Structure 1
Amino acid sequence: MSKVPDHRSDMPRDNNIDFSMVLASAVHDMKNSLGMLLNTLDGLRGECSDSLGDSTRFNTLQYEAERMHNDLVQLLGIYRLGENNLSAHMEEHFVPDFLSEHLARHTPLLKGLGIEYLVEADDINGFFDDDLLTGVLNNTINNAIRYTKSRIRLTAHEQEGYLVIGVEDDGQGYPESMQHNGTLSFKSLDFKSGSTSLGLFFASSVARLHSEGERTGSIRLHNGGSMGGGVFEIWLP
């Protein structure tokens, strides 16, 4: 009986595939696709504001798409951090304008959900990487939208030689296990509980990339503030 040739043995083999690079490339493509989807959703909301403005399903679709987009941005940032390829490019920004322009991205969804929002920032300039800080704020605002009752507030002031940018809401606040000062390590993430806090790890990593002399940035999570709910703060030297 003749042996049937196995053509699989003729296939080229590459045992040096960098699977993490493959995943990073796929995540990058998905992030770009979701970005296009979000732009399309914004356009639809503008064109059909009468019918979509108060649509619960449309608001849920936009919220979840934004959340996934933020997750992918963070995953790419963490990948670059692991490859020692993530750094902060400092530029000077007028903080009230930065926060107002940033919040404008979320305004259609906030209005659709009936959430009040405001920016209360001192007239100060700050030196930071706007792309990295945008990633942090996107995730933080998205979380505030999820847990707030009806109001969100962005703040900024100087304290102890640091620029302190905060996101507050009037929800139930952070559970005691999440309240935190300082920095987070990757080893502190719990992948078994279903709540890995990757967003907080990313925010903490971005804060650490901002340094001046011996001082480095950090994040702080606590409850209270002017709205009585959760308060997220990023402290940048």
Structure 2
Amino acid sequence: MKKLSDDELSVDDLIGLGGHSARKSYYPALQQKVVELEAERNRYKWLFENAFHGIFQADTRGRIQKANAALARICATESAEQLEEGLYFAALLQGGEEEFHSIRESLLTEGPLYLYETRIRQSDGRLIDVSMNLLLRPDDDDPIIEGFVADITRRMEMQNRVLADNEALEQRVRERTAELTTLNSRLFEEIAEREQAEREMARARDVAETANLSKDKYLAAASHDLLQPMNAARLLVSALRERELPTYEGDLVERVHLALSGAEHLLSDLLDISKLDQNAVKPDYQAFSVRQLLFNLEAEFQPIAEEAGIELKFRAPDVAVLSDMRLLSRILRNLIGNAIRYTDQGRVLVALRKRRGELLIEVWDTGQGIPEEKRQEIFKEFQQLGRRPGRNGGVGLGLAIVERIARVLDYTIRVDSIENQGSRFSFQVPVSDQDVPVRSFMAGVQTESGLEGTDILVIDNEPEVLVSMKALLDGWGCRVTTAAGVEQALEALEGPPSIILADYHLDDDATGTAAVEALREHFRSVLPAAILTADRSSEIRRLLRELELPVLNKPVKPSKLRALIQHLAESQPLPRA
């Protein structure tokens, strides 16, 4: 059989279809396979040429054998053929031959490289960032390096921008942190300074409170020590006023009486202002009849109003209120006194009306009125609308005391006024449900003493007060015994006195209440007694009320003292139980 040369061999011969019968049997199927292979080849060729990522093939020396259009676009060349014309892969790498040898060594020893990031040089020399997947495909003669290249320049720019932004943000954070650290340091310094200031303020407050306590103690002592001699002087002058004196001497005594009255009012006002400003005045709430209060005020101010030519009227229902009787009385006393002082002619009306569980108290006058711009100023210290000729104008503390007492009692003082027509001061007081009887020794004031022959024991540790009290009471026809304490009183007395008038603070820490109790115990009788004191504290008033002992504050006004003695003289001594 003749041997065919290679040139004489056909495809049919190679695949065993050289015979006619064989070709007839297998050719259609084979032809179909060839068509499918061609279509597959064309599909892969289309994918290769139109792929988004760059694709290339190179030998192990790095010479590019095949490249697609995407790689040409990435390398900024006109066509893929330019890359295939003897271009080496190392020429594209930023690291050149050294980087290519490292890649090849990794492929030969370790296998494929995935997501290998590097930079390649475009045709114009510009470097761009790429990510490559590289693998080594075996071949009969020489392995083939196949690479897939993706341009990540935008991603790297964004990444670098993000890194730059992060760095800028971190820088801002560092700067802000530094600022906050500085601010915190300043804040800590301010806090430390504030704490130091608070400590200093606390020390200053403690010093001030200590000073206030000392001041309160001093004022308490001063009020007693100052009012005691003034009380003695007032009593002596009152005793002189009730005697027949030559005209000139009588005029001098009257002038001394007015001077002492002014000094007494000023001293009393200053002490009250000081106590109110020191929060030393605590209200002592109790139920009492308003008529009882008005009886006392009417007896006190009616002579003053008559002397000034002013008609003074009181209108009040028979009702009890819940308040501090002394403080409420002081408010009304100051308001009535002001109304009389600033009224040239006409009348002053004190009207009380029950309204929705409260008692509306009003003080009307027909005086000069108060300009609207001054209605707040009048409640300040030493503020006066003008001196009243011929009258005791005071020093401008009356309404300041009213405002402070109202604040203590939680009352609101309202002012309504029309210039040249008059004014109205009003406030409201809670009504009490208790039925309180009217008990007022001021109701029985008489022009004649009616005290002749009344045995009165006066106990006081001030000799001047004892002398002045004896002079005044002797003038009223009383039989007076004076003593500095219980023992001296018992030595001087021949029998039980009709009335005991005792100062509260005596020598050696003794008290007038203890002296009254000792004398009642000695004589086995509840002798009528009253306490005369310069101590105006709430504690003393509460104690005396509990002991049911009447009290008069020094300096004692003779009219009130005489009314008190008349009231006590009507009381019959009761046997001691």
* TM-score w.r.t. length of structure 2: 0.30
Partner of residue 229 from structure 1, selected from 399, 422, 431 = 422
Q: Is the 8 A contact 2:293 2:329 kept in 1?
A: no
Structure 1 match to 2:354: 158
What is the CA–CA distance in structure 1 between the aligned matches of 2:228 and 2:351, rounded to whole Å? 30
Q: Is the 8 A contact 2:365 2:424 kept in 1?
A: yes
- Counterparts of residues 134-149 of structure 1 (less than 5 Å): 134-149=329-344
1:199 offset after TM fit, Å? Answer: 2.4
- Counterparts of residues 169-180 of structure 1 (less than 5 Å): 169-179=365-375
Structure 2 match to 1:11: none
- Alignment pair present for 1:93 and 2:292: no
1:232 offset after TM fit, Å? Answer: 1.8
Structure 2 match to 1:82: 277
Tell me the amino acid that sits aligned with residue 231 of structure 1. Answer: R
1:209 offset after TM fit, Å? Answer: 2.3
Which deviations, in whole Å up to 9, do the C-alpha atoms of 1:210-229 show, x marking residues without a partner?
2xxxxx311112226xx941
1:205 offset after TM fit, Å? Answer: 2.0
Q: Of the two, which has the highest radius of gyration?
A: 2
1:119 offset after TM fit, Å? Answer: 0.4
1:92 offset after TM fit, Å? Answer: 1.3
Structure 1 match to 2:31: none
What is the CA–CA distance in structure 2 between the aligned matches of 1:105 and 1:170, rounded to whole Å? 20
Tell me the amino acid that sits aligned with residue 147 of structure 1. Answer: Y
What is the CA–CA distance in structure 1 between the aligned matches of 2:232 and 2:305, rounded to whole Å? 20
Q: Is the 8 A contact 1:70 1:138 kept in 2?
A: no
Q: 1:119 to 1:208 in 2, by over 3 A?
A: same
Structure 1 match to 2:413: 219
| Further displaced range: 130-139 or 38-47 | 38-47
What is the CA–CA distance in structure 2 between the aligned matches of 1:92 and 1:132, rounded to whole Å? 13
1:66 offset after TM fit, Å? Answer: 4.9
Q: 1:222 to 1:95 in 2, by over 3 A?
A: same
1:74 offset after TM fit, Å? Answer: 3.1
Which deviations, in whole Å up to 9, do the C-alpha atoms of 1:114-150 show, x marking residues without a partner?
2211101122211111111222222222212211123
Gaps of 5+ in 1: 1-15, 211-215
Q: Is the 8 A contact 1:179 1:220 kept in 2?
A: no
What is the CA–CA distance in structure 2 between the aligned matches of 1:40 and 1:110, rounded to whole Å? 25
- Counterparts of residues 1-237 of structure 1 (less than 5 Å): 18=214, 22=218, 25-31=221-227, 62=258, 66=261, 68-150=263-345, 151-179=347-375, 189=380, 198-210=397-409, 216-223=410-417, 228-237=421-430
What is the CA–CA distance in structure 2 between the aligned matches of 1:173 and 1:123, rounded to whole Å? 31
Q: 1:24 to 1:96 in 2, by over 3 A?
A: same
Gaps of 5+ in 2: 1-209, 386-394, 431-577
Count of paired positions: 200
What is the CA–CA distance in structure 2 between the aligned matches of 1:112 and 1:45, rounded to whole Å? 17
Tell me the amino acid that sits aligned with residue 120 of structure 1. Answer: R
Q: 1:95 to 1:66 in 2, by over 3 A?
A: farther
Which deviations, in whole Å up to 9, do the C-alpha atoms of 1:127-184 show, x marking residues without a partner?
111111222222222212211123221111233543222222111112223435xxx6
Structure 2 match to 1:4: none
Structure 2 match to 1:10: none
What is the CA–CA distance in structure 2 between the aligned matches of 1:114 and 1:80, rounded to whole Å? 35
